[in-house]
Amino acid sequence: MIQHKNDQEYLTLKAIFDSESPIGSGMIREELRLSGHNLSEATVGRLLRELHRLGLTHRVGYQGRTLTENGLKKLEELSEEKERTHFGNELLNTLQVSSKNELLDILVARRVIEKETARLAALNATDNDIEHLRRIIERHDMNNRSGLGGAEEDVQFHRLIGKMAGNKVLMAAMDLIRQDGQMTPIFEYIRKHVKSTVVADHRKILQAIASRKPDRAEVAMIEHINNIIDDVEEYWAEPSKAYSHTGN
């Protein structure tokens, strides 16, 4: 339902943006219909009033509407979200039938490596490292609240912990296992689909590292990876996934 609403907002804002002059509700309704959203005039009217209430559109007399600066920013955010969702779908579609097991194998390997990097980070982290880690989490949380996701911050968080650990061999192994260029968007897509988030897990890991408690840091990292494993299991447990991922 939320994604459906986001699609309608995106298409409405895009129709207003693409128009060379202020555009009215009739034309907007037609643009929505052509994109598969056959809405009544009353529904389109409510949608436009909501966008206006949020400060995303500006009414130009009886001519129609244009986008405000906030409307342009919102359209850009929704466009980026659609691109990420499409990219995640494409990646999942190109994986082989054994993709679920491959993802789980990667996560199990990550659990082995990253529990140790978390432990070492709690022993070796500087105050500057911890503050840097905190800023990454806050940026990640802010992006999540804005609907932007946080794949980049997720990579930065784990890579920084690897650097804080101070073990080049573990760092190299983690980079190899994580395969961030391909796997991170897939895990982000799965988390979004099952409505999961990693920010709370990251905060627990940060608290343990900042407290200089290696045992707690190790446990927090294990719980974090286990939660991602649960997300993958939940995603593939859905009936809609079973037809294309049978046997996994």
- How many C-beta atoms surround the C-beta of residue 247 within 10 A? 8
- Kindly tell me if the per-residue pLDDT of 38 is higher than 70: yes
pLDDT in tens, 87-128: 555 555 554 434 788 888 889 999 999 999 999 999 999 999
Which domains are seen in the chain, by residue range?
2-82 (1.10.10.10), 95-242 (1.20.120.530)
Q: What is the pTM of this model?
A: 0.59
% the chain with pLDDT above 70: 85
Q: Which DSSP string do the residues of 127-182 spell out, in sequence order?
A: HHHHHHHHHHHHHHHHHHHTT---HHHHHHHHHHHHHHHT-HHHHHHHHHHH-HHH
pLDDT in tens, 155-187: 899 999 999 999 989 988 887 777 645 677 778
Can you tell me the distance from the alpha carbon of 155 to that of 202, in angstroms, rounded to the nearest whole number? 12
Query: Taking all residues of the chain, what is their mean pLDDT, rounded to a whole number?
Result: 84
Can you tell me the distance from the alpha carbon of 138 to that of 87, in angstroms, rounded to the nearest whole number? 25
